[in-house]
Amino acid sequence: QKEVEQDPGPLSVPEGAIVSLNCTYSNSAFQYFMWYRQYSRKGPELLMYTYSSGNKEDGRFTAQVDKSSKYISLFIRDSQPSDSATYLCAMSPGSSASKIIFGSGTRLSIRP
């Protein structure tokens, strides 16, 4: 079993829809949770960063962490064609010496 599981998609939704992306994990030591967006032929770009359980909102993006269920989510409201990318979840125990574990990424396509 992988430490981090993420549905690879592809996921295709119409413009304006709410998108829900999810990851599950098995290591209860994870404290820091990240979402990266990666456009084709580009490096991953840090999108959202959350510590421990709870919600964090930034514009159209909301990250949720449920440590009791070992489940994290990224919601995108009012999705735009420019949101079309691969979204990778990532997590670590926390210190800068910790290895970050990445999900396999979900390919998202927003249809105009």
Partner 1 sequence: SAVISQKPSRDICQRGTSLTIQCQVDSQVTMMFWYRQQPGQSLTLIATANQGSEATYESGFVIDKFPISRPNLTFSTLTVSNMSPEDSSIYLCSAFGGVLNTEAFFGQGTRLTVV
Closest CA to 21 of 2, 38, 42: 38
Residue with the two structure tokens 């489940």 = 71
72 lies in the binding site for partner 1 (CB under 8 A):
no
90 lies in the binding site for partner 1 (CB under 8 A):
yes
Among 45, 57, 58, 78, binds partner 1 (CB under 8 A): 45
Pairing mode of beta strands 101-102, 85-92: antiparallel
Min separation Cβ 4 and partner 1, Å: 9
21 lies in the binding site for partner 1 (CB under 8 A):
no
**For 59-97, what is the HEC assignment?**
CCEEEEEECCCCEEEEEECCCCHHHCEEEEEEEECCCCC
58 lies in the binding site for partner 1 (CB under 8 A):
no
Which residues of this protein are in contact with partner 1, per CB under 8 A? 32, 34, 36, 41-46, 49, 51, 88, 90, 92, 94-100, 102-105
